[in-house]
Amino acid sequence: MEDHLTLCDIGNTSYHFLKDERDTKESVATFDPSTLTEDVYYISVSPQADALVGNLANWHDLRAYINWDNYYETMGVDRIIACEAIAEGLIIDAGSAITVDLVEEGKFEGGFIYPGLEAMQATYRNISPRLDYSLNFELDLDKMPQNSRDAISYGVLRTLYSEVMRHDQQIYLTGGNAKVLSQLFPTAIVDEHLLFKGMKKMMEKRC
Amino acid sequence: MEDHLTLCDIGNTSYHFLKDERDTKESVATFDPSTLTEDVYYISVSPQADALVGNLANWHDLRAYINWDNYYETMGVDRIIACEAIAEGLIIDAGSAITVDLVEEGKFEGGFIYPGLEAMQATYRNISPRLDYSLNFELDLDKMPQNSRDAISYGVLRTLYSEVMRHDQQIYLTGGNAKVLSQLFPTAIVDEHLLFKGMKKMMEKRC
């Protein structure tokens, strides 16, 4: 395994790079991938980025490495790569969307998509200016709220929490909001490099 | 109790009228409340409507009838009125927002706010055009999804369901999406006039 490879996980909003164990981010809206001359091994869920990197000979799409027997056709490649990284557990990838995927005995057993935390806050704000609150991550999960900020925080976080905890699985947290969500899931393993681990594993399988 | 009173529940998007046991709706964006000459007893969560009806002598705000010892200051008056309608249970009022409120032994015990179904669909669509799906209300709630439409439907509906069912209470469903949500909650009592019942009860208390 060559650790000086450049890996890139392209989400809806960011290019997330890993090279020599250091990670950096660039914006999907502004970054020009043709400025890189080295080989880049990537996954992407961004139609906008796909249109740019698809024509570049040094950008290699790891989508080609996926065994599609284990996944469904329209499943986001980021979710698939995350599932490849673990043998057992529930993966929460908290970015612009929050994906929750179940892996049992090395096999993907289904998953769901919840809106990202920023998207949810915007949703409330758009319903009514009276619902414009920042989320309270120190919310008491065992008490129905008695104030507006907690009523909204509970609506976003407790609903997700109730469903996640029902599965009684080891939780893996990754994505840009992994750390903030770990306040809700104190027993979760936070691993912001989980997708890069999945990418490396897939590349090793092929070697 | 005079049943020929005109009652009006003003939400974020609609004026919902009840008169002589018949209900009608008008849009908050376009309806002019000064066109009504009879006495109207109303509640409102719309700042836009408040600005219009507040100056009309024949529009009577039932907010004045609320005993605020039982509720919190910024709580939507629609939620309060719904709580006044029942003695025990969990009220789901599914409109542009979905409010979930717990009443035990006639007392409000807290509640939360979830985005409305249309708002949630718009949220996914705004995150990515690849997440633009209509919700599947016939979703299998006991199986983690294996396709995109169900992954999103589950994200919206199963999370809410998991939290709601945890309370093990009689569910009351009201609001514009009460019927569609009753597919998820088959034991729920659907009552699209629940808020009007609460309004009548409050007016009776004062008489």
B139 burial (CB, 10 Å; 0-12 / 13-18 / 19+) is buried
Q: Which residues of B are catalytic?
A: 78
- Higher-pLDDT residue of A2, A124: A124
- Does residue A155 sit at the B interface (CB-CB below 8 Å)? yes
Distance in angstroms (rounded) separating the CA atoms of residues A28 and B147: 26
The crossing angle, in degrees rounded to 10, of helices A117-127 and A148-166 is: 140
Q: Do domains A6-65 and A76-198 have the same CATH topology?
A: yes
pLDDT tops 80 at residue A4: no
Assign domain A76-198 to a CATH class.
alpha beta
Which chain A residues are closer than 8 Å to B111 by Cβ?
A: 144-145, 151
Name the residue ranges covered by the structural domains of chain A.
6-65, 76-198
- Does residue A122 sit at the B interface (CB-CB below 8 Å)? yes
Chain B closest-CA separation from residue A131 CA (Å): 9
Lowest mean pLDDT among B62-66, B90-94, B116-120: B62-66
Calculate what percentage of chain B has a pLDDT beyond 70: 98
Chain B closest-CA separation from residue A1 CA (Å): 32
Residue indicated by tokens 């995109």: B148
Q: pTM score, two decimals?
A: 0.92
- Digit-coded pLDDT (tens) for A82-116: 999 999 999 999 999 999 999 999 999 999 999 99
* Arithmetic mean of pLDDT, B113-120: 98
Q: Does domain B87-197 have CATH number 2.60.260.20?
A: no
Residue of B nearest to A101 (CA): B144
pLDDT of residue B8: 97
Query: pLDDT averaged over chain B?
Result: 95
User: Judged by CB atoms within 8 Å, which residues 29-58 of A form the interface with B?
Assistant: 45, 47
Say if CB A85 and CB A198 are below 8 A apart.
yes
Angle CA(A103)–CA(A104)–CA(A106) in degrees, nearest 5?
Answer: 80
Active site residue A191: no
Query: pLDDT averaged over chain A?
Result: 95
pLDDT tops 70 at residue B1: no
Q: DSSP letters of B94-118? A: ESSEEEEEEEETTEEEEEEEEE-HH
Q: How confident is the model at residue B207 (pLDDT cuts 50, 70, 90)?
A: low
Q: For the domain with range A6-65, which CATH number is right: 3.40.630.30, 3.30.420.40, 2.30.130.40, 3.30.930.10?
A: 3.30.420.40
pLDDT of residue A159: 98
Chain B closest-CA separation from residue A200 CA (Å): 25
